[in-house]
Structure 1
Amino acid sequence: MTTTPVRPENLVAAVRAVLPSLTPSGRRIAELILHDPAMVAAHTITELSAVSGVSEATIVRTARSLGFAGYPPLRLALAAAAATTEDGDRLVPGDLGPDDPLSDVITKVTRAETEALADTGRQLTPEQLAPVVDAIARARRVDVYGVAASGLVAADMAQKLLRIGILSHAFSDAHLALTSSALLRTGDVAVGVSTSGETPDVLEPIRRAAAAGAYTVAITNNPRSTLAAAAALTLVSAGRETAFRPAALASRISQLLVVDCIFVGVAQRTFETSQPAIQDTRDAVNRFVAESRARRRR
């Protein structure tokens, strides 16, 4: 459970993050917050209980799940979030409909992804990032686990780290992931990427890696997930699910932001080796391309 209240500008993203782990009645309150934060802020706890059909005790528990002592401080944070919003519906980007023109598709997708990046950036702190950067910079090996859309993020992270000379592999097959995690040891790093934080193909390798002594990291939308509990450190991404963008797809761009921040931090920390590695790999690719073009001209 969150113990530190989130800042007003992060509040809606935090609600989305914990939504899957709430009870059905708690989820009703969370969905009201997502739908209209200003409306919730305008109600006392008694009024909100009447409007939502949820007990006051449940409202208090939902507020505490977000790190607040009770409903009054949550209400103040919601009011602050609504007051700093330039556009009344900015906190909840418009959903896409089957008949929306492509002009609306471009606008709404751009808006949703821009807000996912902003929400992720606001939640990602130097205090969270630094231990991950330090561990990877010192690691003998880094294994990254993810399936489907998160598997693409895992592959991106592995190839970025490989580019700066860090031995790294991405696994989307559960059997291979378990095989790799069984061979990890103290000083290695295992990263699990899962939007829900409940993907068995990611959970089991992370658990096995932790048991082997590896430093484990979770990249997930849900800080209260099983994956977050299993990992030594959790980095939270953000993304709003819509009819045409399931959670995994909506979160991909923000997961890539987390990966990029990790990569740049590691490249900075290992500058004396990372920069020559980048140059060497660039030269190798450029030489290959030039030779391939020359052969085609013959």
Structure 2
Amino acid sequence: MTQTASQPSFPNGALSRIRAQGAQLSPGLRRVADHVLTSADTVLHQTITELASSAGVSEATITRLCRRLNFAGFHAFKLALAADVMTRDPAPPTGEGFQAQAARLIHFTSQTLENTVQLLDPEVVNRVATQMARAPRVDLTGQGNSGLLAQYFANRLMRLGITAIVSTDPHVASVSISTVPRGGVVIGLSSSGSTIDTVQHLQLAQKHGHYTVAITHQARSPITRHASDVLFTAAQENPLSDSVLDTLISQALALELLYAALLPKRPEAHAMLRVTAESVVEKKY
């Protein structure tokens, strides 16, 4: 009886995939794999250029290894590696009651924040900030919890004197995006990267020739196909953690780091912050 060849089965983790295929890798790929196995924590902080230098290979070799391990690219590989590193950390606090629940949330959210910093590429953050600093308008789009973060960031941008528009109504958002002036920026927030309305909004903005930004924790997702640049977050879908909180804090951190990169690119920022702060002084007792 003839057996048909089956597709290879890939474990979930980056480290597991490396170990499973280690003996079948070419010398160049093996050099990178060995470096990742022995220095996973360091690799999380590295760009593809830095990893290539550390392993003594080309960037193309890094990309080939990621594809060989069935990852869409380097960012997808790092997302899986971040999850591996997280599971190696000390187990979360156990127990019942308020204090135990609070300790568990602190444990998981701290890991999410650290992993998000590791996944964000400083060069991409700076590039997005540069585009935003000179944009005549910034539109933000997101649904559900991502919509809340979009509204939050729009308020932050307005305090800097940046015209920022956000609508959680998908129809209104589409109309707004179709009127973005030349040189505008459209930012889409979707943790899954598969929210239909948000993906369509970035697609529409891309069709009009605008600079588009996706903020997501899924490297292989529809939204990334319509983004000029992508900011990756590290929200973990862990049954012991509050995934909603993970999503919110990871997106909020990415936005705050983007805001910090934007400030020095807007010379009038501090003056505008003072003016906008004074505008609401009489609203407080």
Q: TM-score range by the shorter chain?
A: 0.7 to 0.9
* 1: CA distance, partners of 2:251 / 2:234: 8
SS of 2:188's equivalent?
strand
Aligned to 1:139: 135
> Structure 1 residue 40: deviation in Å?
7.2
- Structure 2 unaligned runs (5+)? 1-6, 44-83
Structural mapping, 1:278-289, within 5 Å: 278-289=273-284
Q: CA RMSD in A?
A: 3.0
Change in 2 beyond 3 A, CA 1:195/1:279:
same
What does the per-residue CA deviation read over 1:10-57, in whole Å, with 9 as the maximum and x for residues that have no partner? xxxxxxxxxxxxx9943xx124x5xxx5x777x56389xxxxxxxx7x
1 CA distance for matches of 2:153 and 2:214? Answer: 13
Distance across 2 between alignment mates of 1:109 and 1:44: 33
Partner of 1:207: 203
Matches within 5 A, 1:1-298: 25-26=9-10, 29-31=11-13, 43=19, 45=21, 70=29, 73-74=32-33, 76-81=35-40, 91-92=86-87, 94=91, 100-243=96-239, 245=241, 247-271=243-267, 273-290=268-285
Q: Is the 8 A contact 1:181 1:208 kept in 2?
A: yes
3-state DSSP class of the match of 1:234?
strand
1:3 is aligned to: none
Q: Which amino acid aligns with 1:275?
A: H
Q: What per-residue deviation string (whole Å, max 9, x for no partner) do you get for residues 75-121 of structure 1?
A: 5413323799xxxx962265798x74333322221121111111111
Structure-1-length-normalised TM-score: 0.70
Identity of matched residues, %: 26
CA offsets per residue over residues 265-286 of structure 1, 9 Å max, x none? Answer: 2222113x21111111111111
Distance in 1 separating the partners of 2:39 and 2:150: 36
Summarize deviations over 1:156-177 as a string: whole Å, max 9, x none.
1101001111010222111111
Q: Tell me by how many angstroms 1:243 deviates.
A: 2.4
TM-score (norm 2): 0.73
What is the identity, as a one-letter code, of the residue corresponding to 1:156? Y
The whole-number CA distance in structure 2 between the counterparts of 1:225 and 1:96 is: 33
8 Å Cα contact 2:215-2:251 kept in structure 1 = yes
Does the CA contact (< 8 Å) of 1:117 and 1:254 recur in 2? Answer: yes
Verify the 8 A CA contact 1:141 1:168 in the aligned structure 2. yes
Q: Give the superposition deviation at 1:242.
A: 2.2
Classify 1:108/1:187 alpha carbon distance in 2 versus 1 (closer, same or farther; 3 Å): same
